[in-house]
């Protein structure tokens, strides 16, 4: 087995004793331990007291992080005419209708967010089996089925993050880069936690927020004190 570098060993030792830290301390530890040759993403994972197999316990929503994600988001828009022009002017990377559908059906998916005007949803619906599993299907609940394509495109480009609970009751997302200022990362973390808290479904019983963890792309995770994460 290859020997661990001094920095890796130190990071593992530090994380091994870390538990229920404040958001600020957790962010500082993650930033200090990050050693990859690229700008790692700071990721959040939230364990929720829900069973998403029940419709009344589904958690889904969207949040505009105050300091963005640090990621370049490629946006595709299904629109025609004036709305297509509006999408292009707002900075959409790909705009189309039947031609865009055919491109996606061919297996070419070069975007991270998909937006559609309501009149084109019957067309987009044919792509459900392709876009659905990739969490790219436009949905009015998160503002990606809209006539206001300008606002939707600008939000996607400006740090908007969508979230959806997985089968095990976990929500996860990227909330910035390790190169971000620590205070800005903490603000993003709390904005995300608050958004998930507000999305508490009617069917949730008992404790809703059970655990919050932060990590970098290549680093171990550290649990964060719930009160600190929620800003209380």
Domains parsed from the chain with CATH numbers = 19-69+160-229 (3.30.190.20), 75-157 (3.40.50.790)
**Which residue, chain included where needed, has tokens 């993003």?**
188
The Cβ of residue 165 has, within 10 Å, a number of other Cβ atoms equal to: 23
**Spacing of C-alpha 32 from chain mean position:** 23
pTM (predicted TM-score): 0.82
First to last CA, the chain: 45
Tell me the average confidence (pLDDT) per consecutive run of 10 residues in the chain, 232 residues long. 49 59 96 91 97 93 94 96 98 98 96 97 97 94 95 93 92 96 97 96 93 94 93 60
Q: For residue 19, what are its two tokens? A: 């538990």
Q: Exposed, middle or buried, 227 (CB in 10 Å: 0-12/13-18/19+)?
A: exposed
Tell me, what's the pLDDT at 102?
97
Q: Which residue has the tokens 């999408």?
A: 87
pLDDT of residue 159: 86
């Amino acid at each position: 087995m290859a020997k661990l570098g001094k920095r890796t060993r130190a990071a593992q030792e530090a994380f091994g004793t870390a538990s229920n830290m404040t958001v600020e301390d957790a962010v500082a530890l993650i930033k200090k331990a990050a050693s990859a040759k690229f700008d790692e993403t700071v990721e959040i994972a939230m364990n929720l007291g829900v069973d998403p197999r029940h419709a009344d316990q589904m958690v889904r929503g969207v949040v505009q992080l105050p300091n963005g994600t640090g990621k370049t988001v490629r946006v595709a828009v299904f629109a025609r005419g004036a709305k297509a022009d509006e999408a292009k002017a707002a900075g959409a990377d790909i705009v189309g209708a039947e031609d865009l559908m055919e491109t996606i059906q061919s297996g070419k998916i070069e975007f991270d967010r998909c937006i559609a005007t309501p009149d084109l949803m019957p067309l987009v619906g044919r792509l459900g089996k392709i876009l659905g599993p990739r969490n790219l299907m436009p949905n009015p609940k998160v503002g990606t089925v809209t006539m206001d394509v300008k606002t939707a495109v600008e939000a996607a480009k400006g740090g908007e993050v969508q979230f959806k609970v997985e089968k095990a009751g976990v929500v996860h997302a990227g909330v910035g880069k390790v190169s971000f200022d620590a205070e800005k990362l903490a603000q993003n973390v709390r904005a995300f936690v608050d958004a998930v808290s507000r999305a508490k479904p009617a069917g949730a019983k008992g404790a809703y927020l059970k655990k919050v963890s932060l990590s970098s792309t290549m680093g171990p995770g550290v649990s964060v004190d719930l009160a600190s994460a929620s800003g209380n």
